[in-house]
């Protein structure tokens, strides 16, 4: 058996997906070539991307008035891409800052436009431990968008609600929680996600945009970063990352086989409950996030003896539990419980934690 992988990203992929990719590697659908050796504009690959879009639309119940686009450059490039595409005649957009990623998005935007902080939950010491109350988000009605991050991957903070932005288009960086539960896409103007947490390997980024927001971008914007340009050319204004796209398709098929977003939500909740219960029941492990803001997918935790974090990570690795070290910005430990992480993996982690606490490694 392969070890359990709790990596925050690039994250573990379902083993069935890797096996399938291996089986299909040398000859994709009878073409005589690997999928990564095919023309992206040829019939075999074009057929594949049509299937992938249809599958994604079904899994996420994406309404017809939304375009499904794929970009390169990760979620990070979307921080500026969204500015160029959404700003129109406005001065800028509003930001809800709840952790490292929404803070980065705001900082990138502030170099390009007025990126007003509509709300920040940053503590005086620089840390983050909660989402705001809905009433604390002060939206400028003239903002061209309101940006937030539904799940802060580094801090382990997740919104239990979708902010109400009124007539202002809501933009969400869904990189780490996409497809971990059903989402009402109609609440959003734009929803984007780098693939390497819950959708596939690194190298491809999903962008779902309400079609009325697809307008000519700011003059000078590279064509490959234009929503309109990519929408008009099947997200193939240049050579797309075909192998990553294919793997993303396999992951979607796997999610579908598992029962779709509803099934992922049930599993996700159970995995999170298992781990948080173990943390809460112990005097040795702690989680610093407010109860209503705890992430279902990135569980951050600390030891009562912080100096033993390195020993914990090393012992866990030897026990077949990989990538539990916290992000360098916050330290401590983090278990990412994305869709590909099984309940068994979480049960094994909890058993390991109990034993580590008892024996101190
Ligand atoms: C990982 C992550 C990013 C950065 O993604 P890249 O694809 O590396 O640019 C941005 N936002 C969130 C919420 C993430 O989890």
- State if residue 75 touches ligand 1 by the CB under 6 angstroms criterion: yes
pLDDT value at residue 360: 81
Contact 295 CB / ligand 1 (< 6 Å): no
The Cα–Cα gap between 267 and 53 comes to 24
| Residue 361 reports pLDDT greater than 80 | no
> From the CA of 67, how far away is ligand 1's center (Å)?
21
Any idea which residues carry the catalytic annotation?
A: 101, 173, 197
Query: How high is the mean pLDDT of the chain?
Result: 98
Distance 31 CA to ligand 1 centre (A): 34
Reported as a single tens digit per residue, the pLDDT across 281-299 is: 999 999 999 999 999 999 9
**Rounded Cα–Cα distance for residues 188 and 207 (Å):** 11
At 18 the pLDDT is 98
**What's the pLDDT score for residue 183?**
98
Per-residue pLDDT band for 1 (boundaries 50, 70, 90) equals confident
Which ligand 1 atom lies nearest to the CA of residue 205? 7
**Backbone phi, then psi, for 119, in 5-degree steps?**
-175, 135
Tell whether the model's pLDDT for residue 209 goes beyond 80.
Answer: yes
Bond from prior residue into 242 cis (ω within 30 degrees of 0): no
Beta carbon of 176 within 6 Å of any ligand 1 atom: yes
Pocket lining: 194 vs ligand 1, CB cutoff 6 Å:
yes
Average pLDDT rounded to a whole number, residues 203-207: 98
Q: Which atom of ligand 1 is nearest to the CA of 152?
A: 13
pTM: predicted TM-score of the whole model, two decimal places: 0.98
The pLDDT of residue 322 is above 90: yes
DSSP E strands in the chain: the ranges are 4-5, 66-71, 92-97, 114-120, 146-148, 151-152, 157-158, 170-173, 190-194, 205-210, 285-286, 298-303, 321-322, 333-336
In angstroms, the CA 250 to CA 244 distance is 10
Average pLDDT over residues 53-58: 98
pLDDT at 171: 99
Q: Supply the pLDDT for residue 65.
A: 98
* pLDDT above 80 (res 230): yes
The tens digit of pLDDT for each residue in 137-183 reads 999 999 999 999 999 999 999 999 999 999 999 999 999 999 999 99
């Amino acid at each position: 058996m392969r070890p359990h992988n709790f990596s925050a990203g690039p994250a573990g992929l379902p083993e069935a997906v890797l096996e399938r990719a291996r089986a299909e590697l040398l000859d994709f659908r009878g073409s005589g070539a690997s999928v990564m050796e095919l023309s992206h504009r040829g019939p075999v690959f074009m057929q594949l991307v049509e299937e992938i879009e249809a599958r994604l639309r079904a899994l996420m119940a994406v309404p017809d008035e939304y375009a499904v686009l794929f970009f390169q450059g990760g979620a990070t490039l979307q921080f500026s891409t969204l500015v160029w595409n959404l700003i129109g005649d406005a001065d800028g957009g509003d930001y809800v800052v709840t952790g490292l990623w929404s803070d980065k998005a705001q900082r990138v935007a502030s170099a390009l436009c007025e990126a007003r902080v509509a709300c920040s939950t940053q503590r005086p010491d620089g840390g983050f431990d909660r989402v705001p109350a809905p009433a604390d988000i002060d939206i400028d009605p003239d903002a061209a968008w309101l940006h937030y991050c539904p799940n802060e991957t580094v801090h382990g903070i997740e919104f239990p609600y979708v902010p109400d932005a009124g007539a202002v288009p809501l933009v969400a960086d869904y990189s780490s929680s996409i497809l971990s539960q059903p989402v009402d896409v109609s609440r959003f103007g734009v929803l984007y996600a780098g693939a390497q947490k819950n959708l596939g390997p690194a190298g491809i980024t999903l962008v779902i945009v309400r079609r009325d927001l697809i307008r000519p971008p700011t003059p000078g914007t590279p064509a490959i970063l234009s929503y309109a340009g990519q929408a008009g050319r099947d997200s193939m204004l240049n050579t797309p990352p075909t192998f990553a796209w294919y793997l993303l398709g396999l992951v979607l098929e796997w999610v579908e086989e598992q029962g779709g977003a509803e099934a992922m939500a049930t599993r996700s909740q159970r995995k999170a409950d298992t781990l948080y219960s173990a943390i809460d029941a112990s005097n040795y492990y702690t989680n610093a996030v407010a109860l209503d803001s705890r992430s279902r997918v990135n569980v951050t935790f600390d030891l009562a003896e912080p100096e033993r974090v390195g020993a914990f990570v090393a012992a866990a690795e030897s026990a077949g539990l990989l990538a539990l070290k916290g992000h360098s910005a916050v330290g401590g430990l983090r278990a990412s419980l994305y869709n590909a992480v099984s309940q068994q993996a979480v049960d094994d982690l909890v058993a390991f934690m109990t034993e580590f606490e008892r024996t101190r490694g």
